[in-house]
Structure 1
């Protein structure tokens, strides 16, 4: 979560038909160059997708270093747009068990929802947080890192937590050193 226009792929799984016993390379370069931002997604919004099946199997070149074919990219964006239209809003409503995607209006809404789930002890149980939590030693560390990395959104995120009566609980749950680092990062931003 480095910037509002980033695409982060947590895990990609590929299946290929082997020819002459050769194992093709993973199409990382093609995916890295692909424009996978849904057309309907606002500039500050964050869409988290649970799973995106290959929209055009057999088109993405395995072993290639070039960009993803335009036909594949358009099909992927079309599928992401469909998911966007149906996305649940965890900051505003309970998320149905079968939700394919969740949507946050902006990074401050994401941070506030993350903090609320952490306070409720639900962070590790929510699929949309798994990638962030899996990269940290603990859920609390994941929350502190996410908040520090998005320091410019901290004031608005705290405002959202305050509207729900959770800002004091969040501040109290942070260790003193973590709260000091967060305050310093927010002030610098």
Structure 2
């Protein structure tokens, strides 16, 4: 059973179509949208600010999502894929973005729609990532604009996770 608990009178709001893994932890002022999926060992801690996770967004295993007290909530748009072991802290991730495995996105960052933050990247505070771009490295830097094929792949990525979460919901007793 996931740990879903309030903090100072604020309680998570989770759409009934979302999948929440048994060992996920969701605390405080958190909203999770339709057909979203929160996978194993994810921690979402909206205690000192708020977190919003959009429709059809997947947060993969081992990811931590947190906020900065009073200054930076974390807002994740629709149809976003957040890879395994990602750290999102006080940032904005716009629609149809892919955050690669083990990436870190820090306070005040805005990741523009239909972009990719590469696996292992560290996006330092207050960076603005333009839409349709690829950023990689430590610290992350602009690499190039995405191709049309890569942008189409972003759609396949989130759609795959809708299928996976539906299978898990259908077979939740196995």
Question: Structure 1 length normalisation: TM-score?
Answer: 0.24
Larger radius of gyration between Structure 1 and Structure 2: 1
Which is helix-richer, 1 or 2? 1
Which is strand-richer, 1 or 2? 2
- Greater relative contact order: 1 or 2 (C-alpha under 8 angstroms, separation 6 or more)? 1
